[in-house]
Structure 1
Amino acid sequence: MESYTTPEWRNSALITIDTQCDTLDGQPFEIPGTTAILPRMKSLLAAFRLSGRPIIHIVRIYQADGSNVDLCRKELVRKGAHLVLARSSGCQLASDILPQKGILLDEGLLLSHDIQTIGANEVVIYKPRWGAFYNTPLEQYLRKQNISTLIFSGCNFPNCPRTSIYEASERDFRVVLVDDAVSGLYDQGRIEMKNIGIELLSTNLVIDAVKHSNKA
């Protein structure tokens, strides 16, 4: 690993992308493979919670009138498609990744581009487009905590995780993609990530690194 891209685990944060009820198996916005990664995401989250390191859940919330929806989905939503709609159960975080049962998104707060705290050093941020940094408070939040390394997991690599990773790289964050805790990852995507200095590590390796850094 290159010295400038080597993860700095003591200054790391875990980011989950779009792991919401509607993206799970059999749901309106089903993304194949997302339900299958939930156990590994749960293990990752447990390790970061135990370490006290930051966790940021990035979510999409669509208004039913399509006013905040991407152009490629705007017509679909305006015609009645139920995709992570505000005031629906489908836009909520998947229950397996919550710090405790019963936590609900504060949609008004999130849609106003504020940050919702749901646990000790654990927050939710709404993103209006593919990338987690686009028109969001994410970068400012990370800089305030002196975070240098971002660990990505979650839903649908080709779209939002990949875009968010490129945005993170543009901002000189060190980046790890947890390759068995992200849905939709494919071989060419692995090559593309390595070509821009992204470390691809398994859930177990990330957990071991976090535990080891706690003892350092």
Structure 2
Amino acid sequence: MVIDTQRDFVDGGASPVPGTTQVLPAIATLLQAYREAGRPIVHIVRLYDGDDVDLPRRNLIASGAPIVRPHTPGSQIVPDLLPPGAPELDPEVLLDGAAQLLGAQEWAIWKPRWGAFHRTALDEHLRGLDVTTIVLAGCNYPNCPRATAYGGSERDYRVLVVADAISGVRPDHLEEAGRIGVLAATTAVVTSELAATVAIAG
């Protein structure tokens, strides 16, 4: 699961999050490994439309700030993270609560608040795929990835944070999440374990 890796949140975007551009290569490596293994991928995205916005950002968005607005280039997922031939995000589909297909075993889902499980069909989507473990990468750990890790744990998923593939991660964040059973690993470890699992299954 890759969270909020949209153009507005990387360097040169309308609201860049420090460190996000730097972790993009690790995220790309992780995604490629999952594609090669045929494992499901979900890109969680933000779209600010109307007043359905986090309370701390509501006034900013209401003032017209051009951050991840539907149909804007900045709202799109960073191209290097998409599968070949992926369509642009479709705000009508996403804001309606549906998962948008981006490629084989790869979707986008919109979230209206910090956590990816809040008011979304993510839990139903994952259970329909028989997913029991979520692996998190993306943008700005203290906000959305952390909320998603807690939301996943509350719903009895095993949760693993790929620490070098999420911007804003500090050691104390990982220690804190570990208290509720959230695991942490590097991109190299995750991709190696995934390759070994695929080799055994083959």
> Which residue pairs with 1:69 in the alignment?
53
Within 1, Cα distance between the matches of 2:142 and 2:82? 24
After alignment, is 33-42 or 93-102 more displaced?
Answer: 93-102
Match for 1:24: what amino acid?
V
Within 2, Cα distance between the matches of 1:81 and 1:102? 27
Within 2, Cα distance between the matches of 1:27 and 1:93? 12
Match for 1:115: what amino acid?
A
Matched residue of 1:184: which SS? coil
Within 1, Cα distance between the matches of 2:174 and 2:198? 29
Within 2, Cα distance between the matches of 1:102 and 1:121? 12
Where does 1:130-149 land on structure 2 (aligned, <5 Å)? 130-149=114-133
Match of 2:35 among 49, 61, 69: 49
Within 1, Cα distance between the matches of 2:140 and 2:85? 24
> Which residue pairs with 1:29 in the alignment?
15
Where does 1:39-118 land on structure 2 (aligned, <5 Å)? 39-63=25-49, 66-100=50-84, 103-118=87-102
- Are the equivalent residues in 1 in contact too, given 2:99–2:108 (CA < 8 A)? yes
Question: Which 4+ stretches in 1 moved above 4 angstroms?
Answer: none
After superposition, the C-alpha distances for 1:117-158 in whole angstroms (9 at most, x for unaligned) are 010000000001001001111101111111111100000000
Within 2, Cα distance between the matches of 1:101 and 1:205? 29
- Normalised TM-score (structure 1): 0.90
> Which residue pairs with 1:184 in the alignment?
168
Matched residue of 1:151: which SS? strand
Using the TM superposition, give the Cα deviation of residue 186 of structure 1 relative to its aligned residue in structure 2, in angstroms. 1.3
Higher relative contact order (CA 8 A, sep 6+): 1
> Which residue pairs with 1:171 in the alignment?
155
- Are the equivalent residues in 2 in contact too, given 1:118–1:124 (CA < 8 A)? yes
CA 1:126–1:95 in structure 2 vs 1: closer, same or farther (change >3 Å)? same
Match for 2:130: what amino acid?
N
Using the TM superposition, give the Cα deviation of residue 50 of structure 1 relative to its aligned residue in structure 2, in angstroms. 0.4
Using the TM superposition, give the Cα deviation of residue 101 of structure 1 relative to its aligned residue in structure 2, in angstroms. 5.4
- Are the equivalent residues in 1 in contact too, given 2:61–2:67 (CA < 8 A)? yes
Within 2, Cα distance between the matches of 1:172 and 1:165? 11
**What CA RMSD, in Å, does the superposition of the two structures yield over aligned residues?**
1.0
After superposition, the C-alpha distances for 1:70-90 in whole angstroms (9 at most, x for unaligned) are 111111111121111112111
Match for 1:81: what amino acid?
A
Using the TM superposition, give the Cα deviation of residue 187 of structure 1 relative to its aligned residue in structure 2, in angstroms. 2.2
Structure 2, unaligned runs of 5 or more:
none
- Does residue 158 (structure 1) correspond to residue 139 (structure 2)? The answer is no
Using the TM superposition, give the Cα deviation of residue 182 of structure 1 relative to its aligned residue in structure 2, in angstroms. 0.2
- Are the equivalent residues in 2 in contact too, given 1:95–1:101 (CA < 8 A)? no
Q: Percent identity?
A: 43
